[in-house]
């Protein structure tokens, strides 16, 4: 509770720099095998929850119920970002099964890990957009106080544009049309293993939604990492409805 209050009162969002994909990350099936999943460090949750609390009326973060809502909102938000990476890998796996050739690993090495422009990788822009988009439609968030939901959105709107590379483009892709356009582009990148536009990205529009569904139960493979040792599974703490 003291750490949460300290983060809320610091007046500084700079501590959020390492939260995404460093203190919270997705370990792909292709690289991690049975240890695949979403991993979220306890410190990442507290840091994000504190900055959510900073956008509430003064003193509200010291209320236990509000603190719990801020922590839950932070946890959902981090999950939304990292789970999207599972949906991307799920898309690649389905393409691999049909085409009987490797797609995810070449994409990851040639495109994702070697961004060619300031707005790449597009996968991270989409993952950041998901943090905003899923705030609106997840039933599990309805129990969280509206002030926390507003504060969470306010934080994301302030924070995402300050992130590096593709991450900072998340706000630009929040609307459905822009999101779908970028997702079509990502689909082509994965299939072709290159960031060079194929010019026919729109061909994915008829099957995109089905191909990006999680191929495994991502919620049951989400873990909280803390100082106590082995990661704790979060299925009883976080219940996204479409994970």
Q: Does the pLDDT of residue 4 top 90, yes or no?
A: no
Q: What is the pLDDT of residues 44-81, one digit of tens each?
A: 998 899 889 888 876 567 688 888 899 999 999 999 99
Per-residue confidence (pLDDT) for residue 142, from 0 to 100:
86
Q: pTM (2 decimals)?
A: 0.89
Cis peptide before 98 (omega within 30 of 0): no
CB 56 within 8 A of CB 76: no
> Model confidence over 177-236: pLDDT tens digits?
999 999 999 999 999 999 887 777 778 887 877 899 999 999 889 998 876 555 555 544
Q: What CA–CA distance (Å, rounded) separates 151 from 66? A: 12
Cβ pair 51, 155 in contact under 8 A = yes
- Identify whether the C-beta of residue 125 lies closer than 8 Å to the C-beta of residue 167: yes
Domain ranges of the chain: 2-233
DSSP element (H, E) containing 208: helix 208-211
Report helix, strand or coil for 111: helix
229 Cβ partners below 8 Å, 6+ apart?
Answer: none
Share of the chain above pLDDT 90, in %: 58
* Phi, psi dihedrals of residue 71, rounded to the nearest 5°: -65, -45
Contact between 224 and 40 (Cβ < 8 Å): yes
DSSP 231: P
**How far is it, in rounded angstroms, from Cα 44 to Cα 24?**
7
pLDDT at 138: 84
**pLDDT at 85 (0 to 100):** 98
Choice between 165 and 103, residue whose per-residue pLDDT is larger: 103
Residue 21 dihedral angles phi and psi, to the nearest 5°: 65, 5
DSSP state of 120: -
CA gap 57, 100 in Å, rounded: 55
Per-residue pLDDT, 200: 76
pLDDT digits (tens, 9 = 90+) for 124-181: 999 999 999 999 888 788 889 999 999 999 999 999 999 998 999 999 999 999 999 9
Edge-to-edge order in the sheet of strand 232-233 = 24-27, 37-41, 222-225, 232-233
Specify the pLDDT at position 117. 83
pLDDT at 122 over 80: yes
């Amino acid at each position: 509770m003291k750490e949460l209050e300290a983060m809320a009162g610091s007046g500084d969002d700079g501590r959020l720099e390492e939260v995404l994909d460093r203190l919270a990350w997705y370990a792909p099936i292709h690289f991690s095998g049975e240890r695949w999943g979403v991993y979220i460090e306890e410190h990442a949750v507290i840091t994000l929850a504190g900055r959510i609390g900073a956008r509430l009326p003064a003193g509200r973060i010291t209320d236990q119920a509000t603190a719990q809502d801020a922590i839950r909102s932070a946890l959902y938000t981090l999950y939304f970002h990292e789970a999207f990476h599972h949906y991307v890998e799920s898309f690649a796996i389905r393409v691999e099964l049909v085409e009987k050739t490797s797609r995810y690993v070449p994409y990851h090495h040639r495109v994702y890990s070697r961004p060619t422009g300031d707005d790449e990788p597009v996968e991270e822009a989409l993952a950041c957009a998901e943090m905003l988009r899923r705030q609106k439609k997840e039933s599990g968030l309805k129990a969280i106080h509206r002030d926390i939901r507003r504060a969470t959105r306010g934080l994301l709107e302030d924070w995402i544009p300050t992130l590096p590379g593709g991450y900072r483009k998340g706000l630009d892709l929040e609307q459905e049309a822009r999101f779908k356009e970028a997702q079509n582009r990502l689909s082509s990148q994965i299939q072709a293993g290159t960031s060079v536009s194929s010019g026919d990205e729109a061909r994915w529009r008829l099957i995109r939604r089905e191909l990006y569904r999680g191929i495994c139960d991502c919620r049951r493979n989400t873990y909280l990492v803390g100082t106590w040792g082995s990661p704790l599974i979060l299925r009883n703490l976080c219940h996204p409805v479409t994970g």
